Amino acid sequence: MTAAGAAILGCAGPRLDQSERAFFRDADPWGFILFARNVEDPAQVVALTAELRETVGRAAPILIDQEGGRVQRLGPPHWRAWPPPLDLAASADPVRAFWLRYRLIAAELTDLGIDVDCAPLADIAGPNTHPFLRNRCYGTDAAAVILRARAAADGLAAGGVLPVLKHIPGHGRAVADSHADLPIVEADPEPLRATDFAPFRALADLPMAMTAHVVYRGLGSEAPATTDPAMIALIRDELGFDGLLMSDDIAMGALVGDMAARSAAAIAAGCDVVLHCNGDRAEMAQVIAAAGTLGGAGERRAAAALAARAAPDELDIAALEAELSDLCGG
């Protein structure tokens, strides 16, 4: 059996056509990611996740961004509408509220064949955090974020869904939206290590993480962490993260060059897999060619992440919903 491609890819729509099936069969990406364009109703999503796995002939991980607030690919009328995560900070017991929220999200995802959620966020919301990120954060200080992010990760895991820690090593100080521009953080190393990086150090045992497309100039970097070997080394050695490290979406505006150059740079820096989300066939072909296949430490980390997938525990959905409603004041 050949190693899978070191990439996670999106698909174009709610169903695969014949040419797309053939492309994925040949490309053999490690996993797939779904967006709102891929979602119509539960039966359709179940069929799509099964078909994606059939193209590669294995139980490939299928990811989604289901944070709540502005970043939720599943919503009414078939799935719950979740308020922004930062709103939970005002609940009577935020740690318990985060666990409940993500345990319920996990139940929604596993029903669809989705087994990875791109959460929790361990970024710290500050006064100048860009609005694209701020209310997606879990709190405004490291101690609170650590407890809430751990609870969210535990809730997902209890429901049979792998968590993805993001955006390592910390996006909260960024005042630009990395979807459109390259954020540059000028803070000195000491406050970064004491605050921004602290939640990621505390959560370094999680199975997967997503990089930040952020330049940490105070650490002497001139490139986004995703493509900077020194920053990937910091993530591995100083923060202690030895799980599967995936790039944030390689097509975002923070990066430069074509998809091949971006993908090659991320892999050369030390990312294990490249994430490409928009489903553009020509771009995906570049990503697959440049990223290569999983091998060595990357293959070990990918296998360890998948081995962490577990069957959901038992839950009483109505009871958990009622408890969460009570904690959030109805």
Closest by CA position to 174, among listed 238, 68, 252, 274: 252
What's the first-to-final CA gap in the chain, in angstroms? Answer: 52
Distance from C-alpha of 298 to C-alpha of 316, rounded to nearest angstrom: 38
Would you call the peptide bond into 77 cis, given omega within 30 degrees of 0 as the criterion? Answer: yes
**Positions marked catalytic:** 179, 248
CB 168 within 8 A of CB 211: yes
Collect contacts of 16-19 with beta carbons under 8 A, ≥24 apart. 16/48, 16/51, 16/52, 16/55
Distance from C-alpha of 112 to C-alpha of 8, rounded to nearest angstrom: 18
Rg (CA), the chain: 19
Burial of residue 278, with CB atoms counted within 10 A of its CB: 0-12 exposed, 13-18 middle, 19 or more buried: middle
Question: Where do runs of H (alpha helix) occur along the chain?
Answer: 18-27, 42-56, 94-110, 142-158, 189-191, 198-202, 229-233, 259-269, 281-291, 296-307, 317-327
CB atoms < 10 A from the CB of 282, how many?
8
Distance from C-alpha of 182 to C-alpha of 190, rounded to nearest angstrom: 22
pLDDT score, position 1: 52
Name residue, tokens 């993001």: 166
Domains for the chain: give ranges and CATH numbers.
Answer: 5-327 (3.20.20.300)
pLDDT score, position 150: 98
17-76 confidence digits (pLDDT tens): 999 999 999 999 999 999 999 999 999 999 999 999 999 999 999 999 999 999 999 999
CB 297 within 8 A of CB 270: no
Q: Chain centroid to CA 10: how far? A: 13
Q: Which residues of the chain have pLDDT under 50?
A: none
Distance from C-alpha of 136 to C-alpha of 160, rounded to nearest angstrom: 23
pLDDT score, position 259: 98
Contacts (Cβ under 8 Å, ≥6 apart) of 327: 91, 92, 93, 96, 97, 100
CB 247 within 8 A of CB 178: no
Largest CA distance in the chain: 53
The type of residue at 80 is: R
pLDDT score, position 177: 87
CB 185 within 8 A of CB 229: no
- DSSP codes of every residue in 26-53: HH-EEEEEE-GGG-S-HHHHHHHHHHHH
pTM attached to this predicted model? 0.96
CB 2 within 8 A of CB 293: yes
